[in-house]
Structure 1
């Protein structure tokens, strides 16, 4: 089954998939299926598109005067690191780790990350069950969901 799901997803133009449709796709996959499909080029494409969308789904009116660097470490077949910089009412995302000090670092596996950003997981529950690890400003991490339009499946 995972091979057919992987083939179907490999053919998707993720840039053309709405956030709501992406949330429905993720909701329909088990943690095991996500783990099986998040490999190689498909993983890079999915993560790349999710992080590109963060800039578009950013809500500057909610962020106000927030100035913070948020580092995301997504573990899986390899560690993928992205940084989200929020400053002066804008959000910029870059792949890779800079030498800048992150105000908070969030670390989680592929499946948990996709469930979180698609609105299919509760970040508090993920933290309590240790599927989401935090280093740094826990208060900032707790408020991150209000700074972005998170789809609902």
Structure 2
């Protein structure tokens, strides 16, 4: 797992270098893309970051055209962060090699094996989420 984590971190750094994005900016952009639109506070909570830190990240992502901040229609004081899909295509292209390789790897397994792998990954992700929450709660 550590080897996989390290390799994916290196891949993310290379993609970030091509796009002029910091690792934490890419992490937050991924959260907004997959779970958004989100309020900055909800995003900070999900990312385990202080709201003031999140403001700087969102400023960089907005200036670079990756996200927009919009006023909530129901409460004009509230702000919602939304990823811009056209920029996501740019990032997706840089991950194309890895995505193609993963498709080939998955094709080597039957549906039952893939369900087992998916179950393991979901449980490992949950364990990581719990450990992260526990550490952030004690800080």
Higher relative contact order (CA 8 A, sep 6+): 1
TM, length-normalised to structure 2: 0.25
**More helix, by proportion:** 2
**More strand, by proportion:** 1
